[in-house]
Amino acid sequence: MARDYFFSFEKYAYVKGKKPAPCILCLIRDRSPEVVDLSVHRDELFIASVNLYPYNPGHLLIFPTRHIVDVREFTPEEERRLARLTRYLLDLSEVIQRPAGFNLGYNMGSPAGASIEHLHLHLIPRYPNELGIADLIAGKRVLVEDPQETARRIRERIAQVPFSTARS
């Protein structure tokens, strides 16, 4: 009995703090109850999700289902799929958010501003008369829409005009 108790305690300690923090994007991929699921698209290669901390309404993260940390790790198939998915999501955003432009980009490595190691492409709609990109990089944000509401609107649109993973 005492031994069982000891074992359980060790297991508890392991779960609580002796492991490195799990990757939030892998948790989203695995539909973990520990994370808010704001994903709007999932296929076997990529997931697109509304950013929980958007710089602007409609700020999306597009990330591979594989935990990779560098764009040079993409397979040719992933590159093709990502190009098509990016075009699809830009078209979708133009209909839903009606932005005046976009910022698209990766931050690779923490000195470059990556707070999540798992490679992800930011797709940020830009609007007239808002903060400049320097302000965005400095961490200022203007949140005018609940990310849950953004995700709901995007999912609704995707259901009407689905992304095809078939080769085109």
Query: Alpha carbon 80 to chain centroid distance?
Result: 19
HSE, side-chain direction, 13 A CA sphere, residue 89: 31
Q: How many residues bind Zn ion (CB under 5 A)?
A: 5
Q: What are phi and psi of 129, to 5 degrees?
A: 60, 40
Q: Please report how close the Cβ of residue 130 comes to Zn ion at its closest, in angstroms.
A: 31
The DSSP H or E segment spanning 94 is helix 76-96
CA distances from 112 to 109, 116, 120, 135 (A): 6, 11, 13, 16
* Tokens describing residue 134: 């320097």
Provide the pairing of β-strand 46-50 with 101-105. unpaired
User: With CB under 5 A as the contact rule, which of the stretches 68-76, 78-86, 112-120, 132-140 interacts with Zn ion?
Assistant: 112-120
Q: Please identify, using beta-carbon distances, which residue of 90 and 116 lies nearer to Zn ion.
A: 116
67 in catalytic set = no
Q: Please identify, using beta-carbon distances, which residue of 23 and 71 lies nearer to Zn ion.
A: 23
Helix (H, G, I), strand (E, B) or coil at 8: helix
The yes or no reply on residue 66 touching Zn ion (CB under 5 A) is: no
User: With CB under 5 A as the contact rule, which of the stretches 6-14, 16-24, 123-131, 154-162 interacts with Zn ion?
Assistant: 16-24
The DSSP H or E segment spanning 60 is strand 60-64
The yes or no reply on residue 41 touching Zn ion (CB under 5 A) is: no
The yes or no reply on residue 118 touching Zn ion (CB under 5 A) is: yes
The yes or no reply on residue 25 touching Zn ion (CB under 5 A) is: yes
User: With CB under 5 A as the contact rule, which of the stretches 26-34, 73-81, 101-109, 144-152 interacts with Zn ion?
Assistant: 26-34
Q: Please report how close the Cβ of residue 82 comes to Zn ion at its closest, in angstroms.
A: 16
The yes or no reply on residue 67 touching Zn ion (CB under 5 A) is: yes
Q: Which residues have CB under 8 Å from 44's CB, separation 6+?
A: 65, 165
Q: Please identify, using beta-carbon distances, which residue of 47 and 92 lies nearer to Zn ion.
A: 47
Q: Which residues here bind Zn ion, judged by CB under 5 A?
A: 23, 25-26, 67, 118
Residue positions annotated with a catalytic role: 120
